[in-house]
Amino acid sequence: MSLLDKFIPMTEVRAELAARGVRPFGAVNEKIISPTEGTIGGKRVILAGTHNYLGLTFDPECIAATQRCVAEQGTGTCGSRMAAGTYAEHDALERELAAFFGRRHGIVFSTGFSATMGVPATLAGPGDTILMDSDSHASIYDGVRLSGAEVVRFRHNDPANLAKRLERLGEKTKDTLVVVEGIYSMLGDMAPLREIAELKRQYGFCLLVDEAHSMGVLGKHGRGQAEAAGVEDDVDFIVGTFSKSLGSIGGYCVSNLDQTDAIRFSIRSYLFTASSTPATVASARAALRVLQARPELRDTLWRNARMLYNGLRDLGFRVGPEASPVVAAIFEDRETAIRYWQGLLDQGVLVNLVVPPGSPSTYSLLRASASAAHTEEQIARILEAYANLRLRDAA
C-alpha cells in the first residue's frame, strides 16, 4: 500500500457525487445577496446552512467598523500574536470579551478551530486525563489527541455515564479536564450543564465548555449555555468562535483563573500562526456590541428556530432531541439524505449534508440553521421544500 492509497475511498466518493451532478461539499456561493440569500448555479437560494445566528454579516455597524479599520490599519498584521501581530484591536477585543462573559481574562485566536483545538491540547498533558462528550467537534478531538493526556469519551449528554468514568478515576479526578459543548453542532441539543456542574463540585475536575454555537443564542445576556443553566461560576474555561453569532472569524477563550496568561503563551495554535486581520477583529467587536444592545435578535432567532424545528417534526421528519437554531433532519439511509440535499437545492434551499464518518453515528443528516435574519416567509419556504420532497416520495 502506498502513501496516498488511503485517499482512494475519498476520491471514489467525490467521483460518485460528481458523476451524479451533486456537489454537497463545497457548493460555491457565487453571489451573496443578504445574510440569508445568495446564488448557486445562477439560481437564487435561501441560505439555511450557515451559522449566521444573529444575521450580523450585513449589519451596517459591523460593516462600517470593518471598512474603517481596514482603511486605517491595513489588510493584515503579518505577524503572530506573540511577535508583532498584537494590535490595539486584539487587545481591546480580549478585554471586551472578558467583560461580556464576566471573567478576568480573555484570549483571542485567529480562528475558532485554533481556540477549541488549542486550549484543551494545552490544558492537559501526559499523566492527566480528559473526559470528553462523544459528540464533540472535530477540533476538540484533534486537540485532546495532541495533548498527550489519556482521553476517554463519555456517552453524549449522559452525566451518569460521565460519573461512572469519574468514579473509576479515583484521586485522578483532580488532574482531569472535562470537555463539553453548550449546543452540539450536529443535532443542536444542549449540554446538561447543571448536572455536569454538580459532578464538578463532587469530583473537583476542571471544566471547559465550548460555547461556539450557544454564544448569542442562549442565556439572558447571550453568554451561552453556562449562563442559561445558571452555572457560570462552575465553568473554568469557555472557548468559542466569532464565526457564528458574531458573523466574523476568529476564536476566544475566557477564564477567571490567574494562570490564563501563562496558558496563553503555551498554546501553540495561538503562538505560531498569524494574528487575525484588524478588520475581522473590528467586525467581531462591533458584533459583540450589537449582540448586547439588541437582545431582541435572540427572540427572533428562537421564533425562527422553533418554527423550523416544529415544522420539520410535524412533517414527519426525525429531528434532534430539542428545538435549537441547529435543526437536523436524521436519515438512516445516506442515499436518501444525498437525494434530499439536492432536491432542496433544486428548490432554492441550501442546507448542510452530513454523512458518516462526519455524523455522530451511522446515520446521515441534513442540517439547517435558523437565523434572526430569516423572515417567517423564508422559513415557510424552507419547510415547503422539505414537504415537497416528502410528497414526491409518497407518490
Q: Which of 136, 244, 276, 359 is catalytic?
A: 244
- Contact (CB, 8 A) for 91 and 229: no
Active-site residue flag, 200: no
* Separation of alpha carbons 132 and 2, rounded Å: 34
- Contact (CB, 8 A) for 376 and 203: no
* Separation of alpha carbons 92 and 103, rounded Å: 14
Q: How far is the CB of 221 from another protein (least distance, A)?
A: 36
- Contact (CB, 8 A) for 174 and 129: no
Q: How far is the CB of 137 from another protein (least distance, A)?
A: 15
Q: How far is the CB of 212 from another protein (least distance, A)?
A: 22
Q: How far is the CB of 357 from another protein (least distance, A)?
A: 5
CA distances, 213 to each of 51, 203, 250 (Å): 8, 27, 14
Question: Which residue's CB is nearer to another protein, number 224 or number 360?
Answer: 360
Q: How many Cα atoms within 13 Å fall on the side-chain side of residue 104?
A: 8
Q: Is 187 left (phi over 0), alpha (psi -120 to 50) or beta?
A: alpha
Q: Which of 114, 136, 139, 185 is catalytic?
A: 185
Q: Which of 51, 200, 213, 374 is catalytic?
A: 213
Sequence-separated (6 or more) residues with CB below 8 Å from residue 223: 100, 101, 102, 211, 215, 232
* Separation of alpha carbons 41 and 142, rounded Å: 35
Question: Which residue's CB is nearer to another protein, number 104 or number 164?
Answer: 164
Instruction: Copy the grid coordinates of residue 114.
Output: 485554533
Active-site residue flag, 244: yes
Active-site residue flag, 156: no
* Separation of alpha carbons 377 and 328, rounded Å: 20
Q: How far is the CB of 154 from another protein (least distance, A)?
A: 9
* Separation of alpha carbons 368 and 379, rounded Å: 11
- Strands lying side by side in the sheet with 105-109: 105-109, 251-255, 237-241, 206-210, 176-181, 129-133, 150-154
Residues that bind another protein (CB under 8 A): 134, 144-145, 150-153, 155, 164-165, 168-169, 356-357, 361-362
Q: Which residues pair with 150 in a beta bridge?
A: 129
Question: Which residue's CB is nearer to another protein, number 167 or number 233?
Answer: 167
Which active-site residues does the annotation give?
185, 213, 244
